[in-house]
């Protein structure tokens, strides 16, 4: 179990390095998606990156006073995963959510449709 977690953290860090470097060189281009309850989810379209064999990585988050963007990975087959670095003192490094469903008419499904079209 601990080996899987360490492997996920290492994979996550390797996947994020190019995104972090790219974000520092370009400005954010946010695209908003609205849920049925009126909540806004925003995606930084300048962070869309294809990860061969895994899917598409993008920074996104729910819009409040500020957008707290986390990396999302979409497999372009109806699933997505969230990497969360919530600074939990009991955890060392980011955690992965595991694969979640992205139904076609949901916010996650709409995001997946848009970013997967870019690959």
Quick: pLDDT tens for 64-115.
767 778 899 999 999 999 987 665 556 666 778 889 999 999 999 999 999 9
* Cα torsion angle, 101, 102, 108, 114, sign: positive
Report the alpha-carbon distance of residue 23 to residue 85 in Å, rounded: 17
**Cα angle vertex 99, ends 103, 39, to 5°?**
50
Q: Is the pTM of this model over 0.85?
A: no
Query: Over the stretch 23-73, which tens digit does the pLDDT of each residue have?
Result: 545 688 999 999 888 889 999 999 999 998 889 999 998 877 677 788 999
Range of the structural domain that residue 14 is part of: 2-116
Kindly give, in sequence order, each residue whose CB lies less than 8 Å from that of residue 27, ignoring residues fewer than 6 positions away.
46
Structural domains of the chain, count: 1
Name the 3-class secondary structure at 49. Answer: strand
């Amino acid at each position: 179990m601990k080996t899987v977690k360490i492997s996920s953290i290492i994979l996550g860090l390797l996947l994020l390095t190019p995104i972090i470097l790219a974000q520092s060189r370009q400005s954010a281009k946010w695209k908003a998606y609205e849920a049925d309850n009126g909540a806004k989810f925003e995606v930084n379209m300048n962070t869309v990156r294809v990860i061969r064999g895994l899917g598409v990585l993008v920074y996104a988050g729910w819009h409040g006073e500020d957008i707290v963007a986390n990396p999302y990975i979409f497999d372009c087959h109806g699933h997505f995963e969230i990497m969360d670095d919530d600074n939990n003192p009991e955890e060392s490094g980011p955690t992965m959510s595991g694969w979640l469903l992205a139904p076609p008419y949901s916010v996650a499904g709409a995001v997946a449709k848009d970013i997967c079209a870019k690959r």
